[in-house]
Amino acid sequence: MPSEIGCYHLPIEAADGLAERSFGKLTLLLTLEERAADFRVLDCFDQSLRRSGRLLLETGGSLELFMADGRVLSQPTHHAARFVADLQEGPVKQALADVSPLRSLLPVGSGNLRRAAFALLDSGEKTHCRAHLRMMTDTGGAGAVLLTLQGLRGYDRSLAALREQIEACGGVELSCGGLYAALFPGQVAYTAKPEVIVAPDDTSLDAANTIISTYIPVARANEAGIIADLDTEFLHDFRVVLRKIRSVLSIFKGVYAKHQTTELKTKFAKLMEPTGRLRDLDVYLLERQKFYDLVPKTLHSGLDIMFKLFAEQRRAEFAKLARHLHSKSYQKDISQLAKLFHKRKKLKAGAKADRKAHDYACGLIWKRYSRVRKITARIGPETDDAEVHALRIQCKKLRYLMAFFRPIFPKTEFKSLIKPLKELQDSLGLFNDYSVQQASLQDFLHKASDWPNAVSLAVAQSVGALTAVLHHRQINERTKVIQSFARFNDPAMQETFQNLFHRREDKT
Amino acid sequence: MKIIACYSNKGGVGKTAASVNLAYASAMSGKRTLLCDLDPQGAAGFYFRVKPSKKLTEANFFDDVEKFTKAIRGSDYENLDILPANMSFRDFDIFLSRMRDTRSRLKKSLNSVQADYDVIVLDCPPNISALSENVFRAADAILVPVIPTTLCQRTFEQLVDFFKQNDLPVKKLHGFYCMVQGVKSLHIETMDAMNSAYKKRFMAAKVPFATDVERMGVHRAPVMASAPNSAADKAYQALYQEVTKRLESK
């Protein structure tokens, strides 16, 4: 039985060198497989598998998952599987359970693969350990060897000797990364939350420019995925990043000249505007099952009609957005904005442009925090939904601010504030979802009144039941908002906020 | 974890060939299997090309868990490990006679690896001794290879008597005929006689006399691996399945 396993990658030429190495009293027996096969490396767009030290390889009708701990799992596959959920049941699917269900598995690259194996044998021809090699050449001509080790119980020293030689030949453990770069050179890894480098001594203008110029490429990186409709996260990330940019423009008051701020706000709003309806429909369709679970089976026929309509609307909205993203006007607008923030020459400084980033951040965060506390003090069981909605917006702005300036504050204290804030936001988010969903269901119902009687009756019954459940959940969530705020607002948290963002010397 | 012992108080009847092939069949069926060579001649280890263990002397075998587990070697086959024997195993009896709990020491040693294996196959030396008493107590099934000849018949009778005299469960004994030559009337008559004398104790699977089994020493591999689809391969496969069934219905 294999006593230890491991997975390495090494340059193609190094594999030949390995076969020529000396292993003392042991002899290396090499077996080459003549047959070559196609391969594809699969990962999510955010390369969550690579980041977690894993590699997913599709070859010859099977999926092989190389785990960070050196284990290799495999199972049969079919090309049609787009998401982890689409894979047939098996060990690979099981080990991919942590992958976001919203992210599709995309080919990072493909090429040709040949297998080989070698074993180290003693004088009695007993195997002490083995290595399985996959010699991979990508379509662009780059290559690498993926090598998995298999030790046999009781022959640890032989395995250690083999490891040593692999490392001496330039072998790198798969979990340490570097395979994508070797196989598919030139690829840039996507991250939805790139690190924004803001220093305490930067001016507020520098900080705003850095944040926006870091985020615009993130939005652009998602365009192709939205147009190809690969998964709903492309549009989601696109919207989140534009929302963050718009937050900078609205929160960082006085950083840019007034007229330019207004102009920029309009331009970024214009980029985001055509995406709203498609995102709403995406959310409905993703949560389809949850809606079905909320009402009894007898009322599912109305939901069938509703979701069929949503799916049709989504198709139309998607086509519209894809056209828009392809359009010259969109391409021109976003390119101009990217250039503006890249070159920065034409950005006009406002009255507060020269303030130090640290002081500026403290002022903004403290102000937003105070506003959050003020609104929450008024919230109770009878408070209007609009007030809770206002709190949500303020919390979101506070969170964005804290995220923008995270690098210039002490890590531990900062982290202790983010967790309860996130909890509060989650609760507020749910409250808002319940509220928005009820309103949009009512809107949908109004339209349904024009339909034939039987259809509109079925829809009305389903939507009515759904609204009642959502209303009940919204009321419950309001209580949770108050509880979450209490945790966010406890004396220790207040003190940390005070210490970080509103020290005495700041006030004077 | 199930412990299957291949035992006979007569030598040269095919214990090691059966142990090696049963362990192989068990591993191939997906069960994590350990073949434990208790015979100081070390033939089972030899068939798998595993060198005798230097450090696992008779004392360590029974009272040093670390040395016991460290002596285990992976075979060249998936799911199959070997605990090789060495010449010091011939002194097991002397050592056991000095210990307390003399009759349950083997079980204690094997328990130290119970998390690692689903099946342990014991290849036993041919005698009735303190070690064999340990085997009788530790094993869930004791497979007794019997060549259908008068001498082997007599040996089996002696074993059954020993079990009865020592209050050991005769039900644990599972005889099977090996090196069977269907053309020999003596073989046929002996099998008939033994089947009627020990109705449930004999299994249906029979291992024929085959040169493939003899050539195991040349190939240094189980006959099931070196001569797949041979008569011997099929016989050991049938034997493994019958043993498994008997163990499951226990």
Indicate the residue of A122, A124, A153 with minimum beta-carbon distance to B74: A153
The 10s digit of each residue's pLDDT in B112-160 is 898 999 999 999 999 888 889 999 999 999 999 999 999 999 999 999 9
Q: How far apart are CA A322 and CA A324, in angstroms?
A: 5
B142 in Cβ contact with B106 (< 8 Å): no
Contact A152 B48 (CB under 8 A): no
Q: How far apart are CA B22 and CA B240, in angstroms?
A: 6
CA distance B144 to chain A (A): 28
Chain A residue with the nearest C-alpha to that of B46: A124
Q: What is the pLDDT of residue A440?
A: 86
CB atoms closer than 10 angstroms to residue A103: 21
Three-state DSSP state, A46: coil
CB of B71 within 8 Å of any CB in chain A? yes
Three-state DSSP state, A304: helix
Q: How far apart are CA B137 and CA B235, in angstroms?
A: 28
Give chain B as a DSSP string.
Answer: -EEEEE--SSSSSSHHHHHHHHHHHHHHTT--EEEEE-STT-HHHHHTTPPPPSS--HHHHHH-HHHHHHT-EE-SSTTEEEE---GGGGGHHHHHHHSSSGGGHHHHHHHTTTTT-SEEEEE--SS-SHHHHHHHHH-SEEEEEE-SSHHHHHHHHHHHHHHHHTT--GGGEEEEEEEE-TT-HHHHHHHHHHHHHSTTTEEEEEEEP-HHHHTHHHHTS-HHHHSTTSHHHHHHHHHHHHHHHHHHT-
**What value, to the nearest 5°, has the Cα angle with vertex B205 and ends B200 and B209?**
130
CA distance B112 to chain A (A): 16
Q: What is the pLDDT of residue A1?
A: 58
**Residues 6 or more apart whose Cβ sits within 8 Å of residue B185:** none
CA distance B32 to chain A (A): 8
The 10s digit of each residue's pLDDT in A143-162 is 999 999 999 999 999 999 99
How much is the average pLDDT of A124-146? 92
Q: What is the pLDDT of residue A504?
A: 56
pTM: 0.81
Residue A253 clears pLDDT 50, i.e. is over it: yes
A488 in Cβ contact with A398 (< 8 Å): no
**What value, to the nearest 5°, has the Cα angle with vertex A276 and ends A275 and A279?**
85
CB of A3 within 8 Å of any CB in chain B? yes
Chain B residue with the nearest C-alpha to that of A153: B74
Residue A314 clears pLDDT 80, i.e. is over it: yes
How much is the average pLDDT of A52-75? 92
Contact B76 A127 (CB under 8 A): yes
Q: How far apart are CA A235 and CA A225, in angstroms?
A: 8
**Which residue has tokens 């083999």?**
A162
Chain B residue with the nearest C-alpha to that of A154: B73
What would the two tokens of residue A452 be? 């034939």
End-to-end CA separation in angstroms for chain B: 14
Q: How far apart are CA A201 and CA A275, in angstroms?
A: 37
Q: Which among A55, A338, A47 has a CA at the least distance from the CA of A187?
A: A47
Dihedral pair phi/psi, residue A8, rounded to 5° = -130, 160
**Cα distances (angstroms) measured from residue A247 to each of A70, A138, A404, B175:** 44, 42, 10, 83
B49 in Cβ contact with B59 (< 8 Å): no
pLDDT band at B223 (very low <50, low <70, confident <90, very high): very high
- The top-scoring range by mean pLDDT among A386-395, B65-74, B152-161, B207-216 is B152-161
A9 in Cβ contact with A54 (< 8 Å): no
**Which residue has tokens 């130290």?**
B112
Contact B71 A126 (CB under 8 A): no
What sign does the dihedral A237-A242-A243-A244 (CA atoms) show? positive
Indicate the residue of A126, A151, A154 with minimum beta-carbon distance to B76: A126
CB of A152 within 8 Å of any CB in chain B? yes
A389 in Cβ contact with A432 (< 8 Å): yes
B40 in Cβ contact with B95 (< 8 Å): no
Q: Which among B33, B32, B44 has a CA at the least distance from the CA of B6?
A: B44
pLDDT band at A508 (very low <50, low <70, confident <90, very high): very low
Residue B172 clears pLDDT 60, i.e. is over it: yes
CA distance A129 to chain B (A): 9
Dihedral pair phi/psi, residue A106, rounded to 5° = -115, 150
Chain B residue with the nearest C-alpha to that of A3: B74
A237 sits in the region (left: phi over 0; alpha: psi -120 to 50; else beta) called alpha
Which residue type sits at A6?
G
Among A93-97, A170-174, A486-490, B148-152, the range scoring the smallest mean pLDDT is: A486-490
CB atoms closer than 10 angstroms to residue A446: 8
How much is the average pLDDT of A190-213? 91
CB of B219 within 8 Å of any CB in chain A? no
Q: How far apart are CA B18 and CA B208, in angstroms?
A: 12
Residue A6 clears pLDDT 90, i.e. is over it: no
CB of A125 within 8 Å of any CB in chain B? yes
The 10s digit of each residue's pLDDT in A263-278 is 999 999 999 999 999 9
**What value, to the nearest 5°, has the Cα angle with vertex A181 and ends A176 and A183?**
110
What sign does the dihedral A80-A86-A90-A96 (CA atoms) show? positive
**Cα distances (angstroms) measured from residue B82 to each of A8, A106, A271, B32, B73:** 29, 44, 68, 11, 5
ipTM score for this prediction? 0.87
The 10s digit of each residue's pLDDT in A44-62 is 999 999 999 999 999 988 9
Look over chain A and give the mean of its residue pLDDT values, rounded to a whole number: 90
**Cα distances (angstroms) measured from residue A408 to each of A119, A144, A241, A351, B109:** 54, 40, 21, 22, 61
Which of B75, B83, B226 should we substitute to test contact with A (largest number of A Cβ atoms within 10 Å)? Answer: B75
Contact A1 B76 (CB under 8 A): no
